[in-house]
Amino acid sequence: MPIYDVDIYQAANLLIRRYGPQAHREAIQRAGDMLMRGDIDGHVVWTRICRAVVDLQVTPSRCALNSDLRGDPEGQRVWLRIKRAIVALQAPARGPPH
């Protein structure tokens, strides 16, 4: 039975809530425990959770999409560029200029 990414990220989020900054270490420990028991499938799952913990623990202040942009002029400029790029990607394709 496959384990979907959403389930992996939910498990990672629970680990972060419980262990905070030590969540990554806890996931590594559990992956190692699974390997020592010979549970390869469990090891693979916990390795995926470990990667998800790293993804979720990216410093939010470094990410324009997650920051509070009202007081951050640079973040506002980045967000505006992102919005313009999204609009440009959604626009119908034009042919070559004549």
pLDDT-based confidence at residue 43 (cuts at 50, 70, 90): very high
34 and 72 in a single domain? The answer is no
pTM greater than 0.75 (yes/no)? no
Where residue 61 falls among pLDDT bands split at 50, 70, 90? very low
Distance of CA 79 to the CA centre of its chain: 19
Which among 5, 6, 7, 48 has a CA at the least distance from the CA of 27?
48
Asked if residue 98 belongs to a domain, the reply is no
d(CA 65, CA 63): 5
Do the Cβ atoms of 49 and 15 come closer than 8 Å?
Answer: yes
Record the tokens describing residue 36, joined without a space.
């020592």
**Tokens describing residue 7:** 């389930």
Domain that holds residue 45: 1-57
> Domains in the chain: how many in total?
2
Tokens of 66: 């997650």
Residue indicated by tokens 């992996």? 8
Q: What is the pLDDT of residues 64-84, one digit of tens each?
A: 444 444 556 666 666 566 666
pLDDT of 34 higher than 60: yes
**Is the same domain home to 37 and 76?**
no
Give the pLDDT confidence score for residue 46 in this predicted structure.
94
